[in-house]
Amino acid sequence: MDLLDLNVWFALLVPEHPFHPRARAYWERASDPFLVRVTALGLLRLLTNAKAMDGKPLGVGEAWKVYWELRLSSGVPLLEEPGGLDEALADLVRGGLSPRLWTDAYLAAFALAGGHRLVTFDQDFLRFPGLEVLHLSP
């Protein structure tokens, strides 16, 4: 199963996004993509953010509808945290970490603990040892 980073979900759901074609190409051959709570909340936040949405943010209700359609119509599950996540996260941050990478470290630990591949446009994930990453080139 594939854990998609927030940047992939956002590019996939916003046709005007410059990475939309690449996200769409991935989606068409996706290997059981899923959401986790932090990416779901991030997606809702971005969909309602004027700057992220190029001055055309969705209302809270509209964003929830987009999210719920993704979950129901596309059958995208929201996975619970796997056992061993805290230990995996502790291992990743033990050697030091930039404060801006907490969420990346959490997603990497989730993928590692659950045996999932992480799909992203972000090269920062390549820093996490043992993590299987599908880096989508924009």
Binding-site residues for Mg(2+) = 5, 104
Measure the CA–CA gap between 93 and 64, rounded to whole angstroms.
33
Residue 2 backbone phi and psi in degrees, to 5? -105, 125
Contacts of 132 (CB under 8 A, 6+ apart): 111, 116, 117, 118
59, 25 contact by CB (below 8 A) = no
Q: Which residue ranges are tagged as binding site? A: 5, 104
Let me know: does 67 contact 43? Beta carbons within 8 Å: yes
